[in-house]
A and B are shown apart, each in its own frame.
Chain A
Amino acid sequence: MQMLQYRTAALAGFATQCWWGGIKVMVFAAFYGGSAVAGAASPMSLAQAITYTWLAQGLLVLLPWLADPEVAQAVRTGAVAYDRLRPVDAYVLWFARSAGWIAARLLPRAALMAAFAAVALPLAGLGEWAWQLPASAAAGMAFLLSAGLALLLSTAMVMLLNVAATAALNERGISAVVTPVVIVFSGNLLPLALLPDGWQTALLVQPLAGLFDIPARLYFGQLSGWHALVGLGLQCFWIGLLAASGHLAMGRTMRSLQVQGG
């Protein structure tokens, strides 16, 4: 029964995501369909904007707005003391755990979303609203590689949130501040390319673009060849930087953390 309820909750979440995506698709279609000028004013086609929307819904779990609940609980219950005693680096241990936590939620949801938007929608006669294939096989491979990096990047950010939640003993306030920022700058709200032209460079080099927007650009073949390497490099750069600072911050927090018996 409990399992069933979790499954119902997961399906409810999925239904919400489909609804969200559907409304976005209709709004995009309305904006693009308005006039011939509209299509020209846009750096991406309607079909790309629609595919971007479904991709964003499928990869939603990658967005780091919550600390790993297990870590938060370990700190609250004192179980964190055991992790400190293990002969491995606590950061690496938690990093692996959090990456697994994200991946476990990511894969089924992405698969469901693909089944809905790439298979069910065309079958229902809504082909123009469907999730399209990547620009080429190479683009698809680059996308998969980049999505893997996005998972690591997401984990590095969740680790920073974990450390912050450990220090504050409460993750709700942090997540309230982080969530809107993440949604806008990862490209989940709107393809970053559709934001004003003057912002594009800044939008591309900030770390949150690596969560979703860079993989999506690779998918469409907008970043190809040399540029694709730069995009992947940018993701690696931010993973390295954020993981290093997370490691440092965690060491510092752990030293000052007091485990109260139990």
Chain B
Amino acid sequence: MAQDSGTRTLISQAQLRRGKGRFVYWSLLAVVVLGFTLVFIGPLYWMVTGALKSGQEIAQTPPTLYPKDPNFSNYTNAWQNLNLAKLLFNTFYYAIGAVLFQLVFDTAAAYALSKLRPILGNVILGAMLGTLMIPAIVLIVPQYVTVIDLPIVHVSLINQPLAIWLPLVANAFNIFLLKRFFDSIPEDLMSAAQVDGAGPLRTLWSIILPMSRPILGVVSIFAVTYVWKDFLWPKLVMPDGSTRTVSVGIVAFSGGSSVNEIIAASVIAAIPTVIIFLIFQRNIMSGLTAGSVKG
């Protein structure tokens, strides 16, 4: 039997193909596919259909598997009562801004550190990477104090989108990821551009960026999902009902609303990130492992 040693894992292919091994493999596969669907899709199914049930049906024992008399009033009520259109728009606006700010400032910084290499560049990179070891919660109080009264200019960024956009630029992981990618772009291309009379900005724009599309895509997707998922920081710096993000809004409303409405709102809040994931899952998964060390 031909055995491909390249794909050999814990258990050999040969063993899996033999009578007993084959049976065990297929039953295991069936159990895993079924079990995983139940564990990871099951709760989401419960959530989407639960919000279609009446308050009476949701409190019923044993619970019903599907809504007996589905009605969308929980969804429409949540949409209106929480002003979800505004909350979703805010979140989307902050997410797009975060992408632009990160792409402009972080790629510029990574480009400088990778290709222009100004003096003290490595010291600056070290100081940036050092912040990765500091848990965000430790900095939350002094960061908040800084945002309500910026040093020197004495301006408050509360309820200003910049309060979300600017701190996200200080992302050492992004800069490191981008720098590593730029490092792999051959130096010859850079000198060729220089001979042709291209300045640093021109080289970045017409040579580096077009070659870096995959990594830029990954950074953008992560920025969007980060803003969509973040909770404590937007809660602190966007306290007004009209500037809130969708996660903060749902939690703020959870006190006085019915369970089914809160769940319906949670479903609506989750739809954009789930759609992004289903479209870009390949990029997300490759980006996730690109930054990690090979073990």
Q: Do A and B bind each other?
A: no
